Amino acid sequence: MDCRKALLSPFVLHHGAMTPPHGLREILRTVAQRMQADFEASGFIEHRGSKGTVRERDLRSSFLDKYLPRDVEVLGSSEVVDATGAVSGQCDILLVDPGTPPLWAAEDLRVVPAECVHIVIEVKSNLTSDELRSAWHSVRRVKALAKGAYMTETGLVRRTLNVYGRDWDHTPTFAHVFAFDGATIGTLGDTFAELVRGEPDPALRLDSVFVLNRGTLLWEEPETHMIRGVAREGDFVCGAEAAPDEVLMQFLAHLTMELNAVIPRRFDPRAYMSGNLGEARYKWTFDW
């Protein structure tokens, strides 16, 4: 994959859709200010893991739980497993089907089946190039998990979703990074482009990056200049410096569009029950 970096004169990006209502912009500006204040206040916490937990919880409670569609559940501190036994590392935030059965649930960790996961979000306090590489490899493990344990559907016209250059009969896992601060968008964009070039399968790539105090790394269609959170063939990465409320607006828009594209499929737990289920010793028969 060839890649060239261009430094553009500043210009305003649009989604090609209606301008967001003024009221929503003001609400998200207030949310962004509160998240920034909480981010700065949590700086006194010395333990890195504790800081991360606080900031993941802040993103969930201040933003995701309030502004995402009601037909999705937001989980933190979770692992994802597939029917082959492959397991992801610990995920910061998952957006899952609200009917998702936990395969394991404890106070600080849930294990959920891959088929029920729609979006994974890696949360970073300060996104450096090394942190971006780490997040890339973390979400790749989630995206690589098999999704095939669904109930058989008959007599229905099955929906398909065209994304990552092919048709899917289920929803692939989308993945994003959200950070509160970090390196410049230009620096992060260089690293992101390097990682894109190194992964030939677009379905396994991190899709986009949102940095509250910096801006965004998204995908732009070259002819229409439409901005997207997930790449299509021929798109290029566009790095935009943006105010915090603009970052939240983009983040909300892309998550909502991806959730609206979800193909409803019923999870079949039997694929996770392979192997012996006991030894048959007795049998009772009846005259029907």
Q: Is residue 86 part of a domain?
A: yes
Would you state the pLDDT for residue 9?
A: 44
CB atoms within 10 A of CB 65: 11
Note whether residue 12 is domain-resident: no
Q: Is residue 277 part of a domain?
A: no
How high is the mean pLDDT of the chain? 85
Confidence check: pLDDT of 4 > 70: no
Whether the per-residue pLDDT at 12 is higher than 60: the answer is: no
**Domain that residue 94 falls in:** 22-145+160-266
Residue 280's alpha-carbon distances to 213, 269, 274, 275, in angstroms, are 62, 22, 16, 14
Q: Is residue 53 over pLDDT 80? A: no
| Average pLDDT over every residue of 86-114 | 88
Strand, coil or helix: what is 286? Answer: coil
Distance CA 278, CA 113 (A): 23
Cβ–Cβ under 8 Å, residues 66 and 96: no
pLDDT digits (tens, 9 = 90+) for 221-238: 998 888 988 998 889 999
pLDDT of residue 272: 87
Share of the chain above pLDDT 70, in %: 82
Look at residue 173 and tell me if it is in a domain: yes
CATH number at residue 73: 3.40.91
Residue, of 152 and 176, whose pLDDT is higher:
176
Beta-carbon contacts of residue 86 (< 8 Å; ≥ 6 apart): 144, 145, 146
Does residue 279 lie within any of the structural domains? no
More confident residue, 105 or 141: 141
Asked if residue 284 belongs to a domain, the reply is no
Q: Stretch 38-60: mean pLDDT, rounded?
A: 63
pLDDT at 175: 97
Please report whether residue 137 resides in a domain.
Answer: yes
Cβ neighbours of residue 71 closer than 8 Å, sequence gap 6 or more: 98, 259
In three state form, how does the secondary structure of 146-186 look?
Answer: CCCCECCCCCCCCCCEEECCEEECCCCCEEEEEEEEECCHH
- Model pLDDT, residue 267: 92
Q: Give pLDDT, residue 42.
A: 56
Number of domains the chain is built from: 1
Flag whether 9 is in a domain: no
158 — pLDDT class (breaks 50, 70, 90) = confident
Collapsed DSSP state (helix, strand, coil) of residue 220: strand
